[in-house]
């Protein structure tokens, strides 16, 4: 029985949930492609074989990835590949991105991703089906969404270092502010377009769990990010 919010979009016949497929938490090791469009960038964290899949539209002044985009006003929009039905998955996925990005939680938003596989496939189900169920949402997205946040962070840091003519190792990012010991600082939106022109790092480091400020917190340090419910196009009901 579909959630009442999406009742008008329910298919005529309800397909059976696919059998879960054992898989690693890690996103695929071999990574994607980049496409420049104006001053925006679309970055796909998907296998090279899937690089011709439809991409999220790049916007002027926007750093865009399949799992997040940073708007010119500094908003961080997380694209959830899983349905929010009251279980809190949108907040969970946003937390993964915000943690690695060191974003200002008050500026984090969530939208539904396109209905598209394998780009948004459930990795616990082999990545060939986009679906929500079986307590798989955070399990299959944990490293994938963290790496998306870390990648965007690295590109913002590289953009700041280039503009300020300082070593990237000297760039600090905290609570949505990029800064340098010289006193220079900028918000995410200020450097989104410049970050889109930076090379996409092939590998990124992830935070040590001891440094988490959002993941695993007993209470969120900020309110749940406002959500923009978009029409859900489902590949399967579970």
Structure confidence by residue, pLDDT tens digits, 201-223: 989 999 999 999 999 885 454 34
User: Is the confidence at residue 171, as pLDDT, over 90?
Assistant: yes
What integer pLDDT is reported at residue 128 of this predicted model? 75
The DSSP bridge pattern shows strands 227-228 and 177-179 to be: unpaired
44 domain-assigned:
yes
101 domain-assigned:
yes
What integer pLDDT is reported at residue 89 of this predicted model? 87
Q: Is residue 184 within 8 Å of residue 170, measured between CB atoms?
A: no
9 domain-assigned:
no
Average pLDDT over the chain reads 73
13 domain-assigned:
no
What integer pLDDT is reported at residue 78 of this predicted model? 94
Domain span holding position 76: 23-221
For 28-38, the pLDDT digits (tens) are 333 332 332 22
The two structure tokens encoding residue 112: 């539904």
234 domain-assigned:
no
User: Is the confidence at residue 224, as pLDDT, over 70?
Assistant: no
What integer pLDDT is reported at residue 55 of this predicted model? 35
30 domain-assigned:
yes
131 domain-assigned:
yes
Task: Over range 68-83, report the average pLDDT.
Answer: 93
What integer pLDDT is reported at residue 218 of this predicted model? 56
Burial class (CB in 10 A: 0-12, 13-18, 19+), 152: buried
What integer pLDDT is reported at residue 119 of this predicted model? 80
Give this prediction's pTM.
0.69
The two structure tokens encoding residue 51: 């690089």
CA distances, 172 to each of 15, 62, 145, 166, 198 (Å) = 48, 21, 21, 12, 17
Tell me the C-alpha distance between 235 and 9, whole Å.
Answer: 12
Number of independent structural domains in the chain: 1
What integer pLDDT is reported at residue 166 of this predicted model? 98
DSSP symbol at 238: -
User: Is the confidence at residue 17, as pLDDT, over 50?
Assistant: no
Instruction: Say which CATH number the domain at 31 has.
Output: 3.30.365.10
Give percent of the chain with pLDDT exceeding 90.
Answer: 44
For 97-154, the pLDDT digits (tens) are 999 999 999 999 999 888 888 888 887 777 777 777 878 888 888 999 999 999 999 9
What integer pLDDT is reported at residue 60 of this predicted model? 61
Burial class (CB in 10 A: 0-12, 13-18, 19+), 169: exposed
Angle at 78 between CA 51 and CA 22, to 5 degrees: 60
Q: Is residue 128 within 8 Å of residue 140, measured between CB atoms?
A: no
Angle at 85 between CA 2 and CA 88, to 5 degrees: 160
User: Is the confidence at residue 84, as pLDDT, over 80?
Assistant: yes
4 domain-assigned:
no
DSSP symbol at 206: -
User: Is the confidence at residue 228, as pLDDT, over 50?
Assistant: no
């Amino acid at each position: 029985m579909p959630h009442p919010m999406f009742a008008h979009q329910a298919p005529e016949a309800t397909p059976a949930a696919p059998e879960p497929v054992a898989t690693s938490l890690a996103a695929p090791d071999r990574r994607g492609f980049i496409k420049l469009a104006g001053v925006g960038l679309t970055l796909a964290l998907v296998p090279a074989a899937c690089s011709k899949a439809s991409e999220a539209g790049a916007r002027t002044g926007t750093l865009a990835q399949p799992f997040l985009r940073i708007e010119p006003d500094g908003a961080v929009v997380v694209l959830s590949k899983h349905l929010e039905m009251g279980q809190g998955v949108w907040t969970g996925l946003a937390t993964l991105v915000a943690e690695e990005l060191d974003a200002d939680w008050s500026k984090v938003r969530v939208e539904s991703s396109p209905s598209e596989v394998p780009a948004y496939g459930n990795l616990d189900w082999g990545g060939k089906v986009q679906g929500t169920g079986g307590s798989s949402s955070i399990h299959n997205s944990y490293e994938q969404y963290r790496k998306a946040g870390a990648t965007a962070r690295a590109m913002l840091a590289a953009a700041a270092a280039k503009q300020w003519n300082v070593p990237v190792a000297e760039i600090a990012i905290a609570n949505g502010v990029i800064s340098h010991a010289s006193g220079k600082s900028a918000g995410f939106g200020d450097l989104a377009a410049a970050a889109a022109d930076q090379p996409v790092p092939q590998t990124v480091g992830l935070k040590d769990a001891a440094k988490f400020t959002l993941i695993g917190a007993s209470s969120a340090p900020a309110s749940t990010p406002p959500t923009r419910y978009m029409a859900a196009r489902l590949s399967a009901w579970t």
